[in-house]
Amino acid sequence: MKTTQSCEFQDSTLCGYIQDDTDDFEWTVLSGATPTNKTGPTVDVSYGTDYGKYIYTEATGQAVGDKARILTPSFIPDPGVPEVCWKFEYHMYGADTGSLSVKVYGQSTDLWSKTSNQGDTWFTGFVTVNNTTPYQLVFEATIGGDASDIAIDDVNYRAGSCPLPGECDFDDDTCDWRQLQDDDFDWTRFTGSTPSYYTGPSRDHTTGSGYYMYTEASAPRVFGEKAALTSPIITPASNQCFTFWYHMLGNNTGDLSVYVLNAPEGVFEYGIRNVRWSLKGQQSVNGTDWKFAQIGIAEAQPFQVTLKNPNIDISKLNSYPILICLQEELYV
C-alpha cells in the first residue's frame, strides 16, 4: 500500500494531500482556535496544544452551499488486500454547520457523511473502501453559514474493514469512547490486576492479557462520585443490541448504569440521557469472573451509549444491528 500511513498535517507538504481546483475555496492549515467565535476547534487532536495543526474550512466570507474539497495522495491497494479501513478525526461545531462527506474521487456516492452541529469536540470517523485499483479519497466540506467551520485531523488507514460504531476491546486504544466532562473523575485504560486489594479484575476478558477500562475507587475518590464514558455517535438500525462484559468485585461496589443519549436536534451536548440498564453491588466472585450483559436498543435517531458508575470495570463493547440480543450470536 503506497501512500502516507498517517497524516497529522504538521508539515508544509500536508503529506501530499491535494486541493481540488474545481471547488469554491480551499482547506486551510491552522493551529489553535479558528478566527470565528463559537465555531471550529480550539486545538488539534494529535497534541492538544497550539503546536498541533489541523486543516479546516473557514466559513466566514463564503456563501452558503460553497464547497471545499481536498484529496488524499493516490492509494495503491496491496494485491489480495482490497479492503482498507480509513480513520480520521473530524470537528463540526457551530450553529450554522453545513456538512462533511467522504467519497472516492470520481464517484458520486458518499461513503460517509455528517450534517449540522455535532458539538464542540473531536469525533472519529471510519470509512471502509473496497477497491482493487488505485484511488484517492475526497474530503468535502459544505458551508452552512458563518458559524460553520469544519476541521479534520489524524487521517490514517489499516488493512481490513472498519469496526462497527461503539465496538471496542480496548487492547489498542479506547476506539473513540470518550470521557464526559460533567462527571467527577475519569475511567482508566488498564491491564493486569487493579492496584487495590480484593477489588477489580486480575485480567481482561478478551484475551486474558489485554486491556480493559476501569474506575479506581481509592482516595482521592469519595462515596457517590461518578465517572462516565460515552460511545461515538451510533446510527440506528431497525434494532440494535449493545453488549459488554463487566466485572464488579468488592464489598463496597457501587452501581453501573447504562444510558442512551438521544439528541432530536442533532446536538448531543444538549441531549437527554435515559437509563436502560442498571446493576448495584458485588456481582463477581473472583478476579476472572467477568459477567455478560446485553441491552436491546431501538432508536429512530442517532444516539450515544454512556456507561456511568463509581467503581466498575468493562471489557469488549459492541453495538450490533441484529434483530434480537443473543449471546451466542455475538461471541462464538
Mean pLDDT confidence for 313-332 = 40
- Predicted local confidence at residue 263, as pLDDT: 58
Q: What pLDDT is attached to residue 119?
A: 84
Give the separation between CA 86 and CA 103, rounded to whole angstroms: 11
pLDDT score at 324:
36
Q: What is the maximal distance between C-alpha atoms in the chain? A: 65
Q: What is the pLDDT of residue 129?
A: 94
Residues 70 and 135: beta-carbon distance below 8 Å? no
Distance CA(39)–CA(37), nearest Å, equals 6
- The share of the chain scoring above pLDDT 70, in percent, equals 86
Rounded distance, CA 99 to CA 286, Å?
49
Q: pLDDT band for 143, please (50, 70, 90 cuts).
A: very high
**Shortest CA distance to 52 belongs to which of 167, 153, 146?**
153
Q: pLDDT-based confidence at 323, cuts 50/70/90?
A: very low
Nearest residue to 248 (alpha-carbon basis) of 186, 181, 185, 201: 201
Does residue 206 have a pLDDT over 90? no
Confidence (pLDDT) at 236: 67
* More confident site: 239 or 58: 58
- Per-residue pLDDT, averaged over 14-27, amounts to 95
Q: Where are the beta strands (DSSP E) in 72-147?
A: 83-92, 99-104, 112-115, 123-130, 137-142
Is 270's pLDDT higher than 60? no
Average pLDDT on 132-151 reads: 96
| Mean pLDDT (the chain, rounded) | 83
Residue 268 banded pLDDT, cuts 50, 70, 90: very low
pLDDT of 46 over the 70 cut: yes
Q: What is the pLDDT of residues 219-258, one digit of tens each?
A: 787 787 888 888 877 776 656 788 888 898 888 888 888 8
**8 A C-beta contact, residue 119 and residue 93:** yes
Distances (CA, A) of 261 to 10, 244, 272, 328: 35, 17, 5, 27
Q: How far apart are CA 249 and CA 196, in angstroms?
A: 11
pTM greater than the 0.75 cutoff: no
If phi > 0 it is left, if psi is from -120 to 50 it is alpha, else beta; for residue 160 that is left
